Amino acid sequence: MTVQRIDPGGTIGILGGGQLGRLLALAAGKMGYRTHVFCPDTDCPASQVATHHTCAAYDDMSALGKFADTVDVATFEFENVPSSTAVALSETVPVRPSWKALEIAQDRAKEKAFFAEIGAATAPWRPVNSLEALNAAIKDVDTPAILKTTRMGYDGKGQVRIDDPSDAESAWNSITANQSLDSTDTPFAVLEGFVKFTSEISVITARGADGSVVSFEPVQNVHRDHILHTTTAPAKISATTAKTAVGVAERAAKALDLIGIVAVEMFVTSYGGVLVNEMAPRPHNSGHWSLDACQTDQFTQMIRAICGLPLAEPLRHSNAVMTNLLGDEICDIAAYYADPACHVYVYGKGEPRPKRKMGHVTKLSAKRHA
């Protein structure tokens, strides 16, 4: 398939206006592109740096049509944009990655089935759509386990831990509160068994319009309260494990027929194997370190891919530790600015509420050679 190249001077449409959209718009601006953000929030972080901003609901088809007329290509900065929005947009303008990738990533059951299809292992899991099904799943998966809604869950939202089968009813009531279960054909939730792992890692892979595939090296992640706290590059894993992890991410990119980037989060087991946790076909929090420690970063790579430009080799020139600044942690930012090894990013959000991602800081150190 021939994909028309979009040269600098063109306009990139971004569905979503959060910090990922902001950093994507900044990368596009450096490369000579204009950006048009579509987001229902009046003062979203991305709108502060984009060329244009349409403030409208994602299901406002009239506003979406006008938005489509102004852009040469569209993408999304988070996967909870309705897939129907991406489908409607794709009738007028290229959407990269495709709405099909978005549809898989925003549904945990479809996502796990996808990884099974490409031969990537996951934790044991079962689809669940009733309390009776949950009880049956617990017998298969055992406890402790995590019950997660299939859609709209991130940073620990939409999930509850089950430590004993007797917790099933309260857990089910917790995640289904005020929800209407319209269909028994579509799982409302999945039950995931716990896995023993030594570390959490992620790999970000880019696939270009010409089918070329390039990956950032695996990084090691530490979460607190289900929110990413730090990312360390490089990950402290064996070369064999790193190769396996990169292989999983690259198989996913190819199977999705992706034009863009995908981040795949994985668990490393005690024997060095990897189990897929989830994926995101967009820039990812665990890739922020690349802004300062690589020859090219995840946002620039994303722009290259969706515009049909050649991909760059994302070689790491420094070691890095990226730390998210949540809530009031942004108030201590002066100390980071005083450290010449630190690179500070503030997202332009308002009130620093608890667990709200206000910014991040990446501290670099010399790359050590074996």
First to last CA, the chain: 42
Classified as helix, coil or strand, 86 is helix
- Amino acid at site 127: P
pLDDT at 370: 47
Span 292-319, pLDDT tens digits: 999 999 999 999 999 999 999 999 999 9
Tokens of 63: 């506003």
Same domain, yes or no, for 357 and 247? yes
Residues 275 and 329 grouped into a single domain: yes
Over the stretch 111-136, which tens digit does the pLDDT of each residue have?
A: 999 999 999 999 999 999 989 999 99
Mean pLDDT across 194-213: 95
Residue 368 confidence (pLDDT) above 70: yes
Using CA atoms, how far apart are residues 2 and 240, in angstroms rounded to an integer? 36
Question: Which H or E run includes 192?
Answer: strand 189-193
Q: What total of structural domains would you count in the chain?
A: 3
- In the predicted structure, residue 355 carries a pLDDT above the cut 70: yes
Within a domain: 189: yes
Range of the domain at 309: 199-366
Evaluate if residue 183 carries a pLDDT over 60: no
CA–chain centroid gap for 364, Å, is 23
Q: Are residues 349 and 300 in the same domain?
A: yes
Q: Is the pLDDT of residue 223 over 70?
A: yes
Question: Is residue 251 domain-shared with residue 331, that is, in the same domain?
Answer: yes
Specify whether 266 is located in the same domain as 359.
yes
Q: Say whether pTM exceeds 0.85.
A: yes
**Cα separation, 70 vs 135, whole angstroms:** 51
Q: Is the pLDDT of residue 182 over 60?
A: no
The two structure tokens encoding residue 137: 């799943």
CATH number of domain containing 157: 3.30.1490.20
Residues 86 and 71 in one domain: yes
